[in-house]
Structures are given as structure tokens and as C-alpha cells.
Amino acid sequence: MKFKKDIIKTGLEKKLLVKYGKKLSEGLDFEIYDALSQTIMEEIGGSWKATEDRYNKGREAFYFSAEYLMGRAFSNNLINLGVYDGVVELLEELNIDINKIESAESDAGLGNGGLGRLAACFIESMATLNLPGTGYGIRYRFGMFRQQFEDGFQVEYPDNWLKYGDPWSLRKDRDKVEIRFNKDESVMAVPYDTPIIGYGTNNINTLRLWQAEPVEELDLGEFNEQNYVEAMREKNEAENISRVLYPNDDTDEGKKLRLKQQYFFTSASLQDIVRKFKLKHGTDFSLLPDFTSIQLNDTHPVVAIPELMRILIDVEGLLWGDAWKIVKKTFAYTNHTILSEALEKWYTELFKQVLPRIYNIIVRIHVQFQELLEEKYPADLERRKRMAIIDEDTNLIHMAWLAIHGSYAVNGVAALHTEILKNAELKDWYELYKGKFQNKTNGVTQRRWLLKSNPELSGLITELIGDNWITDLSELKKLETHVTDENILNRFLDIKNIKKEQLAGFIKGNTGIDVDTDSIFDVQVKRLHEYKRQILNIFHIMDLYNRIKEYPDMKVTPKTYIFGAKAAAGYFRAKGIIKLINEVAKAVNNDPDVDGRIKVVFVENYNISPAELIFPAADISEQISTAGKEASGTGNMKFMMNGAPTLGTLDGANVEIVEEAGIENNFIFGMKVEDIVELKKSGYNPTEVMNETKGLKRVMDQLIDGTYDDGGTGMFKELYDALLVGASWHAPDHYFVLQDFNDYRKVRESIDDAFEDRLGWAKKAWMNISNAGKFTSDRTIAQYAKEIWKIEGKKIK
């Protein structure tokens, strides 16, 4: 987009006057942000429509995801359009602070963690690569909750990101569709389109998010009878479907709502795709797989498989066999987990109540698949039972099994993850469908996580190697020639310090805590889950604190431990870990004996905007999941490209990060996948490990002896029991926190000396930046496009 200062200024003034009745000098920050965003939207309208028309002529990919963790759009869009500097200059002339305008935008909290952020990176890369692709999902009214800490406990509040509207989306009433769950219940799905702006291209892709609305807004008869609640019942129940991302599902009602959400957006998206197909190609649906590839991002959208069968059979009149051939050539499935409990399953009775017709279709797919298995494995009843889409012993529908059987490609998201799927977790399926399995190691977009988040480092990189890295991250490899240049390394360290100062200012505002920017910024920010082992991190801090109290003269390189994480609303144990971190922080940060040596900071309401400050400022990237449990990770990649060595296990994409940047430039500890297998075989006794590991018993005892207060909730005792006793659903210490503790402590201690050698440390960081090229989402998406979707770039003029 060519920047036209006068047009932008005139549009800004006009929008302020028409919408808010104000002159430019009177506009509030949000009003100026809104008016400026709408002005930009008008300017890109022609390119957006031209892109849609261009894509409509050929094969397209459609990305189905329950989450899109987009973050703020304003600055990212201006950067990708190439007009950011021009807008800054214009606002300066108008005496308007760009930082205040940027801050006026709410984070679009439509995701929970890595899954949603990955989807956001992917659709941005599709646009940058000029690939014909559309994202489909849900326009959650409240998105992920807003997290507050009250007496150290996580408390959830609504995240009303749409309070003042969203200038970056357009409502498309003409494309709304009806979604029928059963004979008594249906809702309308209304699409909102958001432009996905690629970097350095006129192509603008689309993210279409569906909002649930009632078929009838008001039951006037009930209203006139003064039954006001009943008069609004249909409206409230419909709007619940797109009200909140991942509603608590520890009751049947919560589970039904989640299932409705999944069916709602997949059915709406499929109806949309089929409508467009018919406009272009008529009713010869045998051609649908020639023009359409649908990527299912995890198991949430897998109900799309039987839903497309329903549309083809019930609506379009195809025979079952013909419809099934089409379906199997249309869908591809990404598996994001090794955790069996995270592979989505639904009780048949609940599923039948919500979606009776879809249930009948799944039963028929199940029966047909069992016939295939009987033919393939006539003597292996156990295998057939393991692979049953509907487990008749537990009455559970296995959505991952349905996804694998009903798709033409299945991929893992890191080399290690894919090998574990093939050789262990999905071994039966790999043996049956070897040709379907692929690996697509995740990536992140450098436009947001380096160019936007770290303009200081981006400027240095561009000065050294030019700006081609913005769209070809492999160019970073050229930086290696500067790894012995002390001037460049010192400039890098100066930039890191600038980013630490910026983060320190944010931390002061967010938590009230002053942090030492000369200390090691040791960072673990990610979703709060047991397998990610935030508890291992805080156990080490508790142990270090104990040792400092016992030996006040011990040498400690100053450290600031930074956490950021949300726990799912119904996840009691994860909430207990948050409370423990906050209790330890309170003790450490208020103890003069450790002042200047260690601080513990838990950033409240961690999301994209603070992440953009945290990743560039980090000295250490904590990636300490139990080996074999993290499918990939993407935070590890963001830290890497901003020059933070990884402190981690050989898990997920850490394996490939170490391969690229060198193990000597990272800090690896803990058991490998094969070590865990052997330990399980030989027998694991966590109590014995605790007693034999110096300082560990004291840490464990502090969970239950009153050293740290859980407010009478029993949370800390529950953590203690989970590690030493286990629970009905798992063995003691099933993520091997105690087993890995001592090795973790040793490696963390080795970081102190390494950090004090400032040039040596800068070399490690520089080697990570130089070898981050593999971990761009551009590379990942190019592989999806070529090897799964079979689509090619189509650039508009």
C-alpha cells in the first residue's frame, strides 16, 4: 500500500466527525485508533476484493481452528502494509502519541495458548506467501478470560475485547447460515471477516469468524405475558455458543456447550465452502477435493467430517459411498498432542442428545471402519478394539481416530513428536495408514515476533545483512560471520538491555515490583499445565531461597524469575501451582536477606501484548516440559530469534533448536524419552528420589508444613500428594518433576558463570539468532501448501 498522508489525514478527521462528533484535537485515544483503523480499512478494500476474486478461480486451503490468538492488529497491519513510519510521522505532526493509540486497542483474546497463536502465525504467513487460504473459527464475545491475582489466587473475569467494537472486522449478513443441532434447536451463524495482511504484497487474505445469534430475537407472546426471562431465552442460549472461549466443561451442560461450539463453526464454515463451490462449479461434488483442502487444527473441528457427510447426503442427495470418497480426499488433520487425555472424546449419550443426526453418521462410519479392520486384522481383536472410533466398552467417541480415518493427511508438529506418534501413541494407525503421516515442524512469524516486537534488534540485523530476512528468515544464517565481532556483540547486549528496561517498566506497572535489569531475566511464559512443569521451576527457586537463607554469603548471580500463565478455569491443580508461585514470590520479594539477588515476578493476565515485551527482553528461555510430552512449542522459537538461549529438555522442537544452534549454545538437562521408558520399566519411586536428593525433601515438606499458605484450600497438599502418592488417574510424579530436579539445578547453576562472561554469553545468543531461520511459519506453511494442500501462490497486481 502506498502511503498517502493527505488521504489518511482527511479520512481520520472525517471518521472522527461522523462517528464521534469530534474534531481531531478533541478525540480520545480509542476514538482516534478506531477512526484511523477504519480509514486504513477503506484503503485496502480494493486489494482485499481483488485477492478474493483471484483465489476463487482455483484450488484453496481452508484452516479450521477453534482458536486464533491474534493479538493487537493495528501496528502489525501498518508494518505489513509498509506504512507504519508514515503514520507515525503523520501523528507526530498532529501532536498525537502513537504509543497511546496502539495501547487503546484491545487484544483479540480468541485463543488460549500455542494452538491459537500458531493459527494466527499460519494465516499471516499464508497471506505473505500469496497462498489462497481462508481461516475459519468463532468470534467469541469474551474470548479468553482476563486473569487477576487476588491474595495470590487466579480469579477469572470477562475479557470484553469487543466492548467498543472492532474496526478490523466486517459483518457479512448476506452470508449468514442456519445451524440446526436437533429438531428443536437451531441458531444463526453470522460471519465477520477480518483482513489478514501479508508483508510486502498486495494480497489480503481473510479470517472468517462466526457469531451465534438467535433465529428469533424475541418471543413477543411471552414478552406480552410479562414472562421476560422466557421471552429472551432463545436469544441468550444462542449467544452462549459464541460467548466465551472454552467454557468450563466439568458438568454435562458445559460439555454440551463445547460440542455445540465445535459443531456451530464447522457446520457454518462447511455450508459456506459448499455454497461458494456450487457458485463456481455447480453440483458435481466429485470435483470438491480438486478445489478444496480443509485443515483440521487439532480435534476441536473434527466434527466437520460427519457434518460434510450430512451436507452431501441429506442436502445434496449423494449416495453414502460417493460422499465418503469425497470427504476422505478433502480433510487433513494436524495432531498437536501426545497426551492421551488431550485427544478429545465424547460420551455417546451426550453426543446423541446434542447432534442426533451427526451421531448416526458417526455410527455408520464406525461400523464401516470395523469391517475394514476385520478384513485387515481378522485374528487381532485387541487391535480392532483399540482402534474403534466408538469404544463400545466405555461408550466414548474417539475424535482423533475419526480424524485419522476420515482424512488424507495426518501430521505432527515437530520431528520428535511425529516419530513418537508413529512409533508409540498412534502406532496402530501408522501401520494401517503409513502414507498419510507427515511431519510439519511448527514456526512463528518473524514479522510480529522480531520485526514488530524488537525493532532495535531488527534494525541491527537489517544493517548487517539487508532486509530480505523479513520474508526469508534463512537469511539470518549470514549473521554467523559476525559472531566474533566484539563491536556487534556489544551492540547486541546494549539492545538486550534496552528491551530489559522496557520490560522492567511494564513489570512495575503490572505488578508493582522493581526489577534489576542487570540480573538474568529467566523467563517461563506459557499455558499453565502440569506437563510444562512450572512446578519444577518454582521448586528450584524455593530450594535456592532455602540455601541462601542457610548460607547468606553464598555467591548468587542476580536473577529475576519471570512467569506468565493462565490456568484453565476448572483446573484445580494448575491453579494450585499459580498460588504457590505467588506465595513464594511474596516471601522472596519481601525478604531483605535475598534483596538484590533473586526476585520472582508473575505477570498478571499474560497475553500477546506483554509477550511482545517479554520475548525480546529474556536472557533465558525456560522450556522444561517432560521429555516426550510437548508436541512442539512455539514460544521456544520466539525466544530463540530474539537471542535467548534455551534452558530445556530434549522435547518438542527443542530438539531441532539444539540441532540448528548447537548444544553448546543452549542448556540441556533431564531425561530423554528413552530414559523415561527405561525408568518406567525398572520401577520409579519418587519418595526415594526425594529423600536422596539434597534439599528436595525440605522443598516438598514446605508444601504441607505451613511455610507457604494456600488459604485453607488444600491446594498445596494436593500438589504434594500428586507427586508422592498419585491419584486415581495417574501414578505418583507422572511428569517426573522430582527425578529431573537435581539435573535441572546443576544446569541452572552453570548458567551463572556463563552469564558473567558477557561476550561469551552474547556469542551463545547470537548463534541462536543466526540459526533461527528454520523456525519461521513461512517455511511451515510453504510445506503445508506443497505437500498437503497442493496450492500455489497467486499474487495480485
Residues with active-site annotation? 336, 526-527, 532, 634, 638
Distance CA 366, CA 377 (A): 16
Distance CA 244, CA 264 (A): 14
Cβ–Cβ under 8 Å, residues 470 and 450 = no
Query: 563 - beta bridge partners?
Result: 524, 602
Q: Burial code of 703-740, b = ≥16 C-beta within 10 A, e = fewer?
A: beeebbebeeeebbebbbebbbeeeeeeebbbbbbbbb
φ and ψ at residue 135, rounded to 5 degrees: -95, 140
Closest Cα partner for 215 from 265, 178, 261? 178
Distance CA 173, CA 192 (A): 9
Cβ–Cβ under 8 Å, residues 179 and 266 = no
Residue 477 CB neighbour total at 10 angstroms: 16
Distance CA 679, CA 628 (A): 14
How far is CA 623 from each of CA 29, 199, 448, 657, rounded to the nearest angstrom?
38, 30, 21, 11
Closest Cα partner for 242 from 210, 206, 207, 208? 210
Q: Is 27 helix (H, G, I), strand (E, B) or coil?
A: coil
Distance CA 707, CA 539 (A): 13
Q: Is 310 helix (H, G, I), strand (E, B) or coil?
A: helix
The two beta strands, 204-213 and 185-197, are: antiparallel
Following DSSP, what letter does each residue of 145-213 receive, concatenated? PEEEEETTEEEEE---TTTT--TT-EE-GGG-EEEEEETTEEEEEEEEEEEEEPTTSS-EEEEEEEEEE
Closest Cα partner for 450 from 481, 475, 473? 473
Q: Which grid cell sits at 494?
A: 546494549
Distance CA 427, CA 530 (A): 25
Type of residue at 367: V
Query: 752 - beta bridge partners?
Result: none
Cβ–Cβ under 8 Å, residues 660 and 734 = no
C-alpha 268 chain-centroid distance? 23
Cβ–Cβ under 8 Å, residues 511 and 473 = no
Distance CA 137, CA 132 (A): 17
Cβ–Cβ under 8 Å, residues 336 and 67 = no
Cβ–Cβ under 8 Å, residues 719 and 576 = yes
| Torsion, Cα of 446, 448, 449, 455 (10° steps) | 100
User: In sequence order, which residues have a C-beta less than 8 Å from that of residue 627 and are 6 or more positions away?
Assistant: 649, 650, 651, 670, 671, 672, 673, 675, 676
Distance CA 248, CA 30 (A): 32
